Structure 1
Amino acid sequence: MFERFSAAAREVVTGAQQEARALGHERIGTEHLVLAALRHPRQPGTTTLRGLGVTAEACRTAVAAVVTGRDAALDAEDARALRSLGVDLEAVRGRAEEAFGPGALDSPQTPAPAPSTRRRTPFGRRRGTGSGPATLPRHLPFTAGAKKALELSLRECLARKDRRIGVEHLVLGLLRCADRTSLALFERLGVDPAAAHARVLDELRHTA
Protein backbone atom coordinates (compact mmCIF):
# COMPACT_ATOMS: atom_id res chain seq x y z
CA MET A 1 0.00 0.00 0.00
CA PHE A 2 2.90 2.36 0.73
CA GLU A 3 3.63 2.80 -2.99
CA ARG A 4 0.25 4.56 -3.33
CA PHE A 5 1.23 7.31 -0.88
CA SER A 6 2.12 10.78 -2.10
CA ALA A 7 5.56 12.13 -1.20
CA ALA A 8 4.09 14.25 1.61
CA ALA A 9 2.06 11.33 2.97
CA ARG A 10 5.19 9.16 3.01
CA GLU A 11 6.94 11.88 4.98
CA VAL A 12 4.11 11.77 7.52
CA VAL A 13 4.48 8.01 7.96
CA THR A 14 8.27 8.17 8.31
CA GLY A 15 7.95 11.29 10.46
CA ALA A 16 5.66 9.39 12.83
CA GLN A 17 8.53 7.02 13.56
CA GLN A 18 10.77 9.99 14.29
CA GLU A 19 8.13 11.44 16.63
CA ALA A 20 7.83 8.13 18.49
CA ARG A 21 11.60 7.88 18.91
CA ALA A 22 11.87 11.48 20.09
CA LEU A 23 9.26 10.78 22.78
CA GLY A 24 10.97 7.55 23.82
CA HIS A 25 8.01 5.42 22.77
CA GLU A 26 8.50 1.89 21.53
CA ARG A 27 5.57 1.75 19.11
CA ILE A 28 4.16 4.11 16.48
CA GLY A 29 0.63 5.11 17.43
CA THR A 30 -2.04 7.37 16.01
CA GLU A 31 -0.75 10.18 18.19
CA HIS A 32 2.59 10.10 16.38
CA LEU A 33 0.85 10.17 12.98
CA VAL A 34 -1.09 13.27 14.07
CA LEU A 35 2.13 14.94 15.24
CA ALA A 36 3.83 14.09 11.95
CA ALA A 37 0.89 15.40 9.92
CA LEU A 38 1.17 18.71 11.75
CA ARG A 39 4.68 19.05 10.33
CA HIS A 40 2.96 19.86 7.01
CA PRO A 41 0.80 22.87 7.90
CA ARG A 42 -0.12 23.72 4.29
CA GLN A 43 -1.31 20.26 3.31
CA PRO A 44 -5.07 19.62 2.99
CA GLY A 45 -6.41 18.01 6.13
CA THR A 46 -3.70 19.53 8.26
CA THR A 47 -4.96 23.00 7.36
CA THR A 48 -8.35 21.93 8.72
CA LEU A 49 -6.83 20.76 12.00
CA ARG A 50 -4.94 24.01 12.34
CA GLY A 51 -8.15 25.91 11.62
CA LEU A 52 -9.64 24.07 14.59
CA GLY A 53 -6.81 25.33 16.78
CA VAL A 54 -4.66 22.18 16.69
CA THR A 55 -0.99 23.14 16.75
CA ALA A 56 2.08 20.97 17.16
CA GLU A 57 2.63 22.44 20.63
CA ALA A 58 -0.95 21.78 21.73
CA CYS A 59 -0.77 18.26 20.32
CA ARG A 60 2.46 17.47 22.17
CA THR A 61 0.89 18.66 25.41
CA ALA A 62 -2.16 16.48 24.75
CA VAL A 63 -0.01 13.45 23.91
CA ALA A 64 1.91 13.89 27.16
CA ALA A 65 -1.38 13.95 29.06
CA VAL A 66 -2.87 10.95 27.26
CA VAL A 67 0.10 8.62 26.94
CA THR A 68 1.70 7.31 30.14
CA GLY A 69 4.88 5.30 30.07
CA ARG A 70 6.34 4.24 26.77
CA ASP A 71 3.51 2.43 25.04
CA ALA A 72 0.51 2.45 27.38
CA ALA A 73 -2.39 4.83 26.87
CA LEU A 74 -5.02 5.57 29.47
CA ASP A 75 -8.05 7.62 28.59
CA ALA A 76 -10.71 9.14 30.82
CA GLU A 77 -12.76 5.94 30.70
CA ASP A 78 -9.80 3.92 32.00
CA ALA A 79 -9.26 6.37 34.83
CA ARG A 80 -12.95 6.25 35.81
CA ALA A 81 -12.88 2.44 35.78
CA LEU A 82 -9.84 2.41 38.07
CA ARG A 83 -11.45 4.91 40.43
CA SER A 84 -14.56 2.74 40.63
CA LEU A 85 -12.28 0.02 41.99
CA GLY A 86 -10.80 2.40 44.54
CA VAL A 87 -7.60 2.95 42.57
CA ASP A 88 -6.34 6.50 42.07
CA LEU A 89 -3.82 6.16 39.27
CA GLU A 90 -2.11 9.49 39.90
CA ALA A 91 -1.82 8.78 43.63
CA VAL A 92 -0.28 5.38 42.90
CA ARG A 93 2.18 6.96 40.46
CA GLY A 94 3.05 9.68 42.96
CA ARG A 95 3.77 7.18 45.76
CA ALA A 96 5.86 5.01 43.44
CA GLU A 97 7.93 7.97 42.29
CA GLU A 98 8.42 9.15 45.89
CA ALA A 99 9.77 5.73 46.80
CA PHE A 100 11.69 4.78 43.66
CA GLY A 101 12.25 7.99 41.76
CA PRO A 102 10.66 9.71 38.73
CA GLY A 103 9.37 7.41 36.01
CA ALA A 104 9.26 4.39 38.31
CA LEU A 105 6.12 3.06 36.61
CA ASP A 106 7.34 3.70 33.08
CA SER A 107 8.59 0.88 30.91
CA PRO A 108 12.31 0.21 31.32
CA GLN A 109 14.63 2.20 29.14
CA THR A 110 16.46 0.33 26.42
CA PRO A 111 20.19 0.60 27.12
CA ALA A 112 21.89 2.94 24.70
CA PRO A 113 24.28 1.19 22.30
CA ALA A 114 27.98 1.67 22.83
CA PRO A 115 29.49 4.43 20.68
CA SER A 116 30.49 3.10 17.30
CA THR A 117 34.04 3.39 16.06
CA ARG A 118 32.89 2.97 12.51
CA ARG A 119 32.93 6.00 10.28
CA ARG A 120 30.20 6.94 7.89
CA THR A 121 30.48 6.61 4.15
CA PRO A 122 29.22 9.43 1.89
CA PHE A 123 25.92 7.53 1.66
CA GLY A 124 25.30 7.49 5.39
CA ARG A 125 26.30 3.85 5.99
CA ARG A 126 28.86 3.04 8.61
CA ARG A 127 32.14 1.46 7.66
CA GLY A 128 34.74 0.07 10.00
CA THR A 129 37.86 -2.02 9.95
CA GLY A 130 35.93 -5.27 10.42
CA SER A 131 33.68 -7.11 8.00
CA GLY A 132 30.54 -7.00 10.21
CA PRO A 133 27.28 -5.43 8.96
CA ALA A 134 26.51 -1.75 9.54
CA THR A 135 24.34 -1.03 12.57
CA LEU A 136 20.91 0.31 11.58
CA PRO A 137 18.24 1.67 13.95
CA ARG A 138 15.50 -0.81 14.83
CA HIS A 139 12.24 -0.17 13.00
CA LEU A 140 9.43 0.62 15.43
CA PRO A 141 6.21 -1.39 14.95
CA PHE A 142 2.82 0.26 14.45
CA THR A 143 0.08 -0.12 17.01
CA ALA A 144 -3.19 -1.72 15.94
CA GLY A 145 -4.80 1.73 16.01
CA ALA A 146 -2.16 3.22 13.71
CA LYS A 147 -2.54 0.31 11.28
CA LYS A 148 -6.29 0.85 11.28
CA ALA A 149 -5.84 4.57 10.59
CA LEU A 150 -3.62 3.77 7.59
CA GLU A 151 -6.18 1.27 6.31
CA LEU A 152 -8.93 3.89 6.70
CA SER A 153 -6.82 6.41 4.79
CA LEU A 154 -6.82 4.00 1.84
CA ARG A 155 -10.60 3.66 2.12
CA GLU A 156 -10.95 7.45 2.14
CA CYS A 157 -8.81 7.68 -0.98
CA LEU A 158 -10.89 5.04 -2.78
CA ALA A 159 -14.16 6.68 -1.71
CA ARG A 160 -13.05 9.97 -3.26
CA LYS A 161 -11.69 8.17 -6.35
CA ASP A 162 -8.32 9.85 -5.82
CA ARG A 163 -5.25 8.33 -7.42
CA ARG A 164 -2.85 8.81 -4.52
CA ILE A 165 -3.12 8.68 -0.75
CA GLY A 166 -2.33 12.17 0.46
CA VAL A 167 -2.01 13.86 3.84
CA GLU A 168 -5.72 14.69 3.65
CA HIS A 169 -6.57 10.98 3.50
CA LEU A 170 -4.30 10.25 6.45
CA VAL A 171 -6.03 12.96 8.48
CA LEU A 172 -9.44 11.63 7.46
CA GLY A 173 -8.36 8.13 8.48
CA LEU A 174 -7.08 9.37 11.83
CA LEU A 175 -10.36 11.19 12.49
CA ARG A 176 -12.30 7.99 11.77
CA CYS A 177 -10.05 5.78 13.90
CA ALA A 178 -11.88 4.96 17.12
CA ASP A 179 -9.00 3.56 19.17
CA ARG A 180 -8.76 4.84 22.75
CA THR A 181 -5.65 6.90 22.17
CA SER A 182 -7.13 8.77 19.20
CA LEU A 183 -10.38 9.49 20.99
CA ALA A 184 -8.58 10.69 24.13
CA LEU A 185 -6.16 12.81 22.10
CA PHE A 186 -8.86 14.59 20.11
CA GLU A 187 -10.91 15.08 23.27
CA ARG A 188 -7.92 16.78 24.90
CA LEU A 189 -7.53 18.95 21.80
CA GLY A 190 -11.21 19.93 21.89
CA VAL A 191 -11.85 18.36 18.48
CA ASP A 192 -15.01 16.42 17.60
CA PRO A 193 -13.65 13.77 15.17
CA ALA A 194 -16.93 13.37 13.25
CA ALA A 195 -17.40 17.12 12.82
CA ALA A 196 -13.74 17.59 11.86
CA HIS A 197 -14.02 14.73 9.33
CA ALA A 198 -17.00 16.43 7.69
CA ARG A 199 -15.15 19.75 7.68
CA VAL A 200 -12.12 18.24 5.91
CA LEU A 201 -14.37 16.77 3.21
CA ASP A 202 -16.18 20.10 2.83
CA GLU A 203 -12.92 22.01 2.45
CA LEU A 204 -11.65 19.48 -0.08
CA ARG A 205 -14.81 19.96 -2.17
CA HIS A 206 -14.34 23.73 -2.14
CA THR A 207 -10.69 23.51 -3.23
CA ALA A 208 -11.22 20.84 -5.91
Structure 2
Amino acid sequence: MDFTAKAEEKSDDSHVFCPIPALRSGEQFRNFLTTVEIPCDNVTTFGGPPRGKKGSSKNVCLDGRFDVIPGRCVVFSFGINHDWSFEDEMAEFGCKVFAYDPTMDVESHQRSPNLQFFSTGISNYNGTKVIGMGKNWKERKVDRFENLVKEAGMEGRPIDVVKLDVELSELDFLQDMLFNSRHVLGSIKQLAMEIHSHFRIPSKVAGRRNSL
Protein backbone atom coordinates (compact mmCIF):
# COMPACT_ATOMS: atom_id res chain seq x y z
CA MET A 1 0.00 0.00 0.00
CA ASP A 2 1.31 3.46 -0.93
CA PHE A 3 0.86 5.45 2.28
CA THR A 4 2.38 8.55 0.68
CA ALA A 5 -0.27 8.58 -2.01
CA LYS A 6 -2.99 8.14 0.60
CA ALA A 7 -1.65 11.03 2.65
CA GLU A 8 -1.46 13.27 -0.40
CA GLU A 9 -4.99 12.33 -1.39
CA LYS A 10 -6.28 13.22 2.07
CA SER A 11 -4.38 16.50 2.01
CA ASP A 12 -5.92 17.44 -1.35
CA ASP A 13 -9.41 16.76 -0.01
CA SER A 14 -8.82 19.07 2.93
CA HIS A 15 -8.35 22.15 0.73
CA VAL A 16 -11.64 24.02 0.50
CA PHE A 17 -11.89 27.33 -1.33
CA CYS A 18 -13.25 30.14 0.82
CA PRO A 19 -14.10 33.42 -0.95
CA ILE A 20 -14.09 35.38 2.33
CA PRO A 21 -10.68 36.98 3.00
CA ALA A 22 -9.07 36.58 6.40
CA LEU A 23 -9.41 39.50 8.79
CA ARG A 24 -6.15 41.41 9.08
CA SER A 25 -6.98 44.20 11.51
CA GLY A 26 -9.27 45.24 14.31
CA GLU A 27 -10.88 47.75 11.97
CA GLN A 28 -11.86 44.98 9.56
CA PHE A 29 -13.40 43.07 12.45
CA ARG A 30 -15.35 46.15 13.54
CA ASN A 31 -16.61 46.72 9.99
CA PHE A 32 -17.70 43.09 9.73
CA LEU A 33 -19.71 43.34 12.94
CA THR A 34 -21.39 46.61 11.98
CA THR A 35 -22.22 45.89 8.33
CA VAL A 36 -25.58 44.31 7.52
CA GLU A 37 -24.86 42.06 4.55
CA ILE A 38 -28.20 40.25 4.23
CA PRO A 39 -31.20 42.46 5.07
CA CYS A 40 -34.31 40.92 6.62
CA ASP A 41 -37.83 42.31 6.24
CA ASN A 42 -39.35 40.33 9.11
CA VAL A 43 -36.98 40.40 12.08
CA THR A 44 -38.67 38.91 15.14
CA THR A 45 -37.23 39.10 18.64
CA PHE A 46 -37.49 36.07 20.89
CA GLY A 47 -36.62 36.18 24.58
CA GLY A 48 -35.60 39.04 26.80
CA PRO A 49 -37.94 41.33 28.80
CA PRO A 50 -40.50 41.08 30.21
CA ARG A 51 -40.02 37.34 30.72
CA GLY A 52 -36.25 37.37 30.66
CA LYS A 53 -33.25 39.55 31.36
CA LYS A 54 -32.13 42.44 29.22
CA GLY A 55 -29.58 41.18 26.72
CA SER A 56 -30.97 37.65 26.56
CA SER A 57 -33.12 38.26 23.49
CA LYS A 58 -32.11 37.06 20.04
CA ASN A 59 -33.37 38.11 16.62
CA VAL A 60 -34.65 35.55 14.12
CA CYS A 61 -35.42 36.36 10.50
CA LEU A 62 -38.84 35.01 9.56
CA ASP A 63 -38.67 35.95 5.88
CA GLY A 64 -40.18 33.27 3.65
CA ARG A 65 -36.79 32.34 2.18
CA PHE A 66 -35.75 30.88 5.56
CA ASP A 67 -38.91 28.77 5.83
CA VAL A 68 -39.12 28.87 9.64
CA ILE A 69 -42.47 27.12 9.96
CA PRO A 70 -44.20 26.46 13.32
CA GLY A 71 -44.59 22.73 13.81
CA ARG A 72 -41.57 21.98 11.62
CA CYS A 73 -38.81 24.31 12.81
CA VAL A 74 -35.85 23.07 14.87
CA VAL A 75 -33.78 25.14 17.30
CA PHE A 76 -30.57 24.27 19.15
CA SER A 77 -29.77 26.65 22.00
CA PHE A 78 -26.54 26.80 24.00
CA GLY A 79 -26.24 28.89 27.15
CA ILE A 80 -29.33 29.35 29.34
CA ASN A 81 -28.01 30.69 32.67
CA HIS A 82 -31.46 30.30 34.27
CA ASP A 83 -33.08 32.59 31.67
CA TRP A 84 -35.43 30.46 29.60
CA SER A 85 -37.18 33.32 27.79
CA PHE A 86 -35.68 32.67 24.34
CA GLU A 87 -36.14 28.91 24.54
CA ASP A 88 -39.69 29.11 25.94
CA GLU A 89 -40.80 31.60 23.30
CA MET A 90 -39.29 29.59 20.44
CA ALA A 91 -41.04 26.49 21.80
CA GLU A 92 -44.33 28.39 22.09
CA PHE A 93 -43.85 29.62 18.51
CA GLY A 94 -44.00 25.96 17.53
CA CYS A 95 -40.36 24.95 17.15
CA LYS A 96 -38.75 21.83 18.55
CA VAL A 97 -36.12 23.23 20.91
CA PHE A 98 -33.04 21.44 22.25
CA ALA A 99 -31.39 23.49 25.01
CA TYR A 100 -27.95 22.93 26.57
CA ASP A 101 -26.18 24.33 29.63
CA PRO A 102 -23.95 22.41 32.05
CA THR A 103 -23.32 25.37 34.37
CA MET A 104 -26.71 25.54 36.13
CA ASP A 105 -26.39 22.24 38.03
CA VAL A 106 -29.79 21.23 36.63
CA GLU A 107 -30.35 17.67 35.42
CA SER A 108 -31.47 16.95 31.88
CA HIS A 109 -35.26 17.07 31.61
CA GLN A 110 -38.26 17.77 29.40
CA ARG A 111 -39.20 21.35 30.27
CA SER A 112 -42.26 21.50 28.01
CA PRO A 113 -43.72 19.48 25.12
CA ASN A 114 -41.47 21.29 22.61
CA LEU A 115 -38.48 22.00 24.84
CA GLN A 116 -35.92 19.45 25.99
CA PHE A 117 -32.97 20.41 28.20
CA PHE A 118 -29.57 18.72 28.44
CA SER A 119 -26.87 19.44 31.03
CA THR A 120 -24.11 19.32 28.40
CA GLY A 121 -21.93 22.11 27.05
CA ILE A 122 -20.70 22.83 23.54
CA SER A 123 -17.06 22.32 22.56
CA ASN A 124 -14.88 20.92 19.78
CA TYR A 125 -14.46 17.51 21.44
CA ASN A 126 -16.38 14.96 23.50
CA GLY A 127 -15.33 14.87 27.15
CA THR A 128 -15.12 17.29 30.04
CA LYS A 129 -13.97 20.88 30.39
CA VAL A 130 -13.61 23.40 33.20
CA ILE A 131 -16.38 25.91 32.53
CA GLY A 132 -18.82 27.94 34.60
CA MET A 133 -20.33 31.29 35.47
CA GLY A 134 -19.23 33.73 38.16
CA LYS A 135 -17.58 31.77 40.97
CA ASN A 136 -19.15 28.45 39.95
CA TRP A 137 -16.40 26.87 37.83
CA LYS A 138 -15.75 23.15 37.65
CA GLU A 139 -15.25 20.18 35.33
CA ARG A 140 -18.38 19.65 33.25
CA LYS A 141 -19.53 17.48 30.38
CA VAL A 142 -19.12 18.88 26.85
CA ASP A 143 -19.60 17.51 23.35
CA ARG A 144 -19.37 18.42 19.68
CA PHE A 145 -22.37 19.91 17.90
CA GLU A 146 -22.50 17.12 15.34
CA ASN A 147 -22.74 14.51 18.10
CA LEU A 148 -25.49 16.43 19.89
CA VAL A 149 -27.49 16.71 16.67
CA LYS A 150 -27.26 12.94 16.21
CA GLU A 151 -28.29 12.26 19.81
CA ALA A 152 -31.30 14.54 19.35
CA GLY A 153 -32.37 12.54 16.30
CA MET A 154 -31.99 15.57 14.02
CA GLU A 155 -29.16 14.27 11.82
CA GLY A 156 -29.66 15.22 8.18
CA ARG A 157 -32.48 17.65 8.93
CA PRO A 158 -32.38 21.41 8.38
CA ILE A 159 -31.74 23.32 11.61
CA ASP A 160 -33.57 26.63 11.59
CA VAL A 161 -31.75 28.44 14.41
CA VAL A 162 -28.67 27.82 16.53
CA LYS A 163 -28.32 30.17 19.50
CA LEU A 164 -24.93 30.56 21.16
CA ASP A 165 -24.46 32.57 24.35
CA VAL A 166 -21.57 30.60 25.78
CA GLU A 167 -18.82 32.99 26.90
CA LEU A 168 -16.17 32.28 24.23
CA SER A 169 -17.06 28.61 23.71
CA GLU A 170 -18.53 29.81 20.42
CA LEU A 171 -14.92 29.74 19.18
CA ASP A 172 -14.75 25.99 19.85
CA PHE A 173 -18.07 25.55 18.05
CA LEU A 174 -16.99 27.53 14.99
CA GLN A 175 -13.59 25.85 14.80
CA ASP A 176 -15.17 22.40 14.94
CA MET A 177 -17.83 23.25 12.37
CA LEU A 178 -15.43 24.85 9.89
CA PHE A 179 -12.75 22.17 10.09
CA ASN A 180 -14.67 18.98 10.92
CA SER A 181 -18.39 19.38 10.24
CA ARG A 182 -18.93 21.62 7.23
CA HIS A 183 -21.76 19.35 6.10
CA VAL A 184 -23.58 20.06 9.38
CA LEU A 185 -22.81 23.77 9.20
CA GLY A 186 -24.47 23.82 5.79
CA SER A 187 -27.73 22.60 7.32
CA ILE A 188 -27.99 25.59 9.70
CA LYS A 189 -30.19 28.40 8.40
CA GLN A 190 -29.44 31.05 11.04
CA LEU A 191 -26.94 31.61 13.85
CA ALA A 192 -27.96 33.88 16.73
CA MET A 193 -24.61 34.28 18.42
CA GLU A 194 -23.16 36.49 21.12
CA ILE A 195 -19.81 37.79 19.90
CA HIS A 196 -17.18 38.73 22.47
CA SER A 197 -15.31 41.86 21.50
CA HIS A 198 -13.91 45.01 23.10
CA PHE A 199 -15.43 47.08 20.28
CA ARG A 200 -18.54 49.10 21.08
CA ILE A 201 -21.26 48.36 18.53
CA PRO A 202 -24.34 50.58 18.09
CA SER A 203 -27.32 48.77 19.60
CA LYS A 204 -29.40 49.20 16.42
CA VAL A 205 -26.73 47.51 14.32
CA ALA A 206 -26.03 44.81 16.90
CA GLY A 207 -29.68 43.88 16.97
CA ARG A 208 -29.67 43.35 13.23
CA ARG A 209 -26.35 41.51 13.11
CA ASN A 210 -26.91 38.79 15.68
CA SER A 211 -28.84 36.64 13.22
CA LEU A 212 -26.40 35.47 10.55
TM-score range, shorter chain: under 0.3
The answer to which structure has the higher strand fraction is: 2
The answer to which structure has the higher helix fraction is: 1
Mark the structure with the bigger radius of gyration.
1
Question: Of the two structures, which has the highest relative contact order with CA contacts closer than 8 Å and spacing of 6 or more?
Answer: 1
- Taking structure 2 as the reference length, the TM-score comes to 0.21
